[in-house]
Amino acid sequence: MNTNETQSDIWRWMPDQMSTFASNVDGLFYFILILCVIFFTLIVGAMVYFVVKFRRRTDQDETPLIKGNHTIEIIWSVIPGILLIAIFTWGFVDWMKLGTVPPNALDVRVEGYKWAWSFVYPEGIVSGELVVPVGKPVKLTMSSKDVLHSFYVAEFRIKRDVLPGRYTVQWFEATDTGEHWVQCTEYCGTSHSKMIAKVKVVSQEEYDEWISTGGGMGDDVPLADLGKMLYEQRGCVACHSLDGSKVVGPTFKGLYGVERKFTDGTSAVADDNYLKTAILAPNDTVVEGFSPVMPSFQGQLNDRQISALIEFIKSVSQ
């Protein structure tokens, strides 16, 4: 189980280790940290000791002529040299593991955009949450629709840049069930800090169930509820508020059925057709007072999901 809840946040030092990489990464980190602490103490200690011991006591006190000492020079070159080679080898071996995807890995495509993540499964499911089975390698093939992002899951100890126009690959194997967060760790604009997505590690049975019910977006979910889920998972929440406040985009509060004015001087009533166009081709008309920064969701949402978003907008308009 996820132990997040049982740990006191103040005493938290490292996030829980939740992937097969985590203990290796931490092991190397602690090795370097301890080494640094030991050498820092030794060097600064010796420095302070010498400063005091060899301080000038009288005006006649002269600094003696100091010549080299081959023995200690060799010692202080060879020991750090060996340590460096050890750190490099350790790091290199682990780094190769991070880059070598096991052949039986589950394939998930990851798309980052301002300001959300979407995950596409081989079965065709598009989800705003990364749901994976425990104890199975997962391969992420990642790309960005717009600017540089970076995919980071602290508990898995994985982080990789997500680039426009190029795929980057990352894999991991979760060792326990639980929930974590994906965070974007490459500053990407206004709502960068909201560019998060849930990672759910579940049992194989739960995973199969999730896939067979269409990724929690099955036909039995009421439209407005599905809409709310999509609003949160697909990143609308980063730009559209529900409480009337202006974020990057207009609020959804009271939107349905009112007149909209556009930057080109035209206007329209926010009915179902308008909302659908606004989602699929957001830059056809741009609402007055806003910039055309909304990404198109053409091909990203199916008809039922678009209807769901419209129903949701309706439900928060009353």
Binding site for Cu ion (CB under 5 A): 149, 184, 188, 195
Pairing of strands 106-113, 137-144: parallel
Which residue from 153, 162, 249, 256 is in contact with ligand HEC, where contact means CB under 6 A? Answer: 249
| Residue 31 interacting partner from ligand HEC, Cu ion, none (CB closer than 5 to 8 Å by kind) | none
Does 260 bind ligand HEC (CB under 6 A)? Our answer is: yes
- Per-residue x/- marks for ligand HEC, 28-57, CB under 6 A? ------------------------------
Joined tokens for residue 133: 């089975």
177 CB contacts (<8 Å, ≥6 apart)?
A: 1, 2, 134, 201, 202, 203
Helices within the chain (DSSP H only): 22-53, 70-99, 204-212, 223-233, 236-239, 272-280, 303-315
Nearer to Cu ion, 130 or 195 (CB): 195
Q: Please give the structure tokens belonging to residue 275.
A: 């909302």
- Binding of ligand HEC by 157 (CB under 6 A): no
Contact mark string toward ligand HEC, 272..301, x via CB under 6 A: ---x--xx--xx--xx--xxxxx--x----
Q: How many residues does the chain have?
A: 318
Q: Decide which of Cu ion, ligand HEC, none touches 239; Cβ closer than 5 to 8 Å per partner kind.
A: ligand HEC
In what helix (H) or strand (E) does residue 261 lie, and over which residues does it extend?
Answer: strand 259-261
Place of tokens 């640094």: 36
Q: Give Cα separations from 306 to 18, 236, 279 (angstroms).
A: 35, 13, 8
Q: Which is nearer to ligand HEC, 229 or 255 (CB)?
A: 255
Residues 158 and 299: their CA atoms lie apart, in Å, by 29
Footprint on residues 189-248 left by ligand HEC (CB under 6 A): 234-236, 238-240, 248
Whether residue 119 contacts residue 110, with contact meaning beta carbons closer than 8 Å, is answered with yes
Count residues contacting ligand HEC (CB under 6 A)? 27
Whole-angstrom CA distances from 191 to 142, 258, 260, 309 are: 20, 27, 25, 21
Specify whether the CB–CB gap between 163 and 156 falls below 8 A.
no
Tell me which residues in 79-138 interact with ligand HEC (CB under 6 A). 114
Nearer to Cu ion, 149 or 228 (CB): 149
By a kind-dependent CB cut-off of 5 to 8 A, residue 136 interacts, out of Cu ion, ligand HEC, none, with none
How many Å apart are CA 213 and CA 96, to the nearest integer? 37
Nearest CB to ligand HEC, comparing residues 115 and 152: 115
Residues 6+ apart with CB under 8 A from 186: 148, 149, 150, 161, 162
Report the nearest approach of ligand HEC to the CB of residue 244 (Å): 12
Smaller CB distance to ligand HEC: residue 133 or 250? 250
Say which entry of Cu ion, ligand HEC, none residue 275 contacts (CB below 5 to 8 A, set by partner kind).
ligand HEC
- Smallest distance, ligand HEC to C-beta of residue 124, A: 18
The contact set with ligand HEC (CB under 6 A) reads: 114, 234-236, 238-240, 248-250, 255, 260, 270, 275, 278-279, 282-283, 286-287, 290-294, 297, 309
